[in-house]
Amino acid sequence: MMRFLLLFSRQGKLRLQKWFTPMSDREKKKIIRDMTTMVLARQPRSCNFLHWKDLKIIYKRYASLYFCLAVENQENELLALEVIHRYVELLDKYFGNVCELDIIFNFEKAYFILDEFLMGGEIQETSKQIVNRSIEASDMLQETMEEYMSKPAF
C-alpha cells in the first residue's frame, strides 16, 4: 500500500501532501523534512528509488515539481513510478498543461483529482477516461450553481 504522497518544489516548498495512514503533525513535519532533503540531494540521472526506514521511496521530477511517493516494502517500484505519471497526466488533462502555479492556486482541485484516483493508499481507478469524467461531472455540478458567481469576492 502507499503511505504518503508529497509534492514539493525545487526549493523544497511543499505543494501537496497526502497521508494514507494517521500520523501526528510532528511526524508529518519530520517526514516532510527528511524527504525534501533526501530527494533534493540526489544527483541527476540517479535511479528513482530509495530505501527509507522500512519504506520504499519513489520520486520523479516533472518540470519544477518533485513527486515523492512512499510505498510499503513489497510494492512494485516501477508501477509506483507510473502511479505518479498517471496522476501528472490527470492533472495535465484537467488544467491543460499543468504547471506548479495551477496546483498552488487550485490545491483543492489537486486533492479532488487525487481522491478520484487513489483511495486508502490503493489505486482506485486506473482508467484516465473514467477519472476525468467524474471530475468533469463534479465541475458541472458546481457550475450550475449560479448563485456562486454573483457573490462578491471576499
Q: For residue 134, give the nearest of 150, 119, 148, 151 by alpha carbon.
A: 119
- Binding residues for another protein, how many (CB under 8 A)? 68
DSSP letter (8 states) at residue 75: S
- Residue 123 is a binding residue for another protein (CB under 8 A): yes
**What is the C-alpha to C-alpha distance for residues 85 and 26, in angstroms, rounded to an integer?**
29
The residues in 18-47 that bind another protein, with binding defined as CB under 8 A, are 21-22, 24, 29, 43, 45-47
Give the residue among 49, 1, 19, 12 at the shortest CA–CA distance from 34.
12
Q: How far is the CB of 61 from another protein (least distance, A)?
A: 13
Rounded Cα–Cα distance for residues 145 and 21 (Å): 35
Show the beta-strand stretches assigned E in 63-151. 65-72, 118-119, 122-123
Selected from 31, 68, 94, 113, the binder of another protein by CB under 8 A is 94
Q: How far is the CB of 25 from another protein (least distance, A)?
A: 8
Question: Torsion-angle region of residue 127: left (phi > 0), alpha (psi -120 to 50) or beta?
Answer: beta
For another protein, the closer of residues 16 and 40 by Cβ is 16
Grid coordinates belonging to 79: 508501477
Q: Smallest distance from the beta carbon of 35 to another protein, in angstroms?
A: 14
79 lies in the site for another protein, by CB under 8 A: yes
Q: Which residues bind another protein (CB under 8 A)?
A: 1, 14, 16-17, 21-22, 24, 29, 43, 45-51, 53-54, 73-74, 76-79, 81-82, 85-86, 94-95, 99, 101-102, 104-109, 111-112, 115, 119-130, 134, 137-139, 141-143, 145, 147-149, 151, 153-154
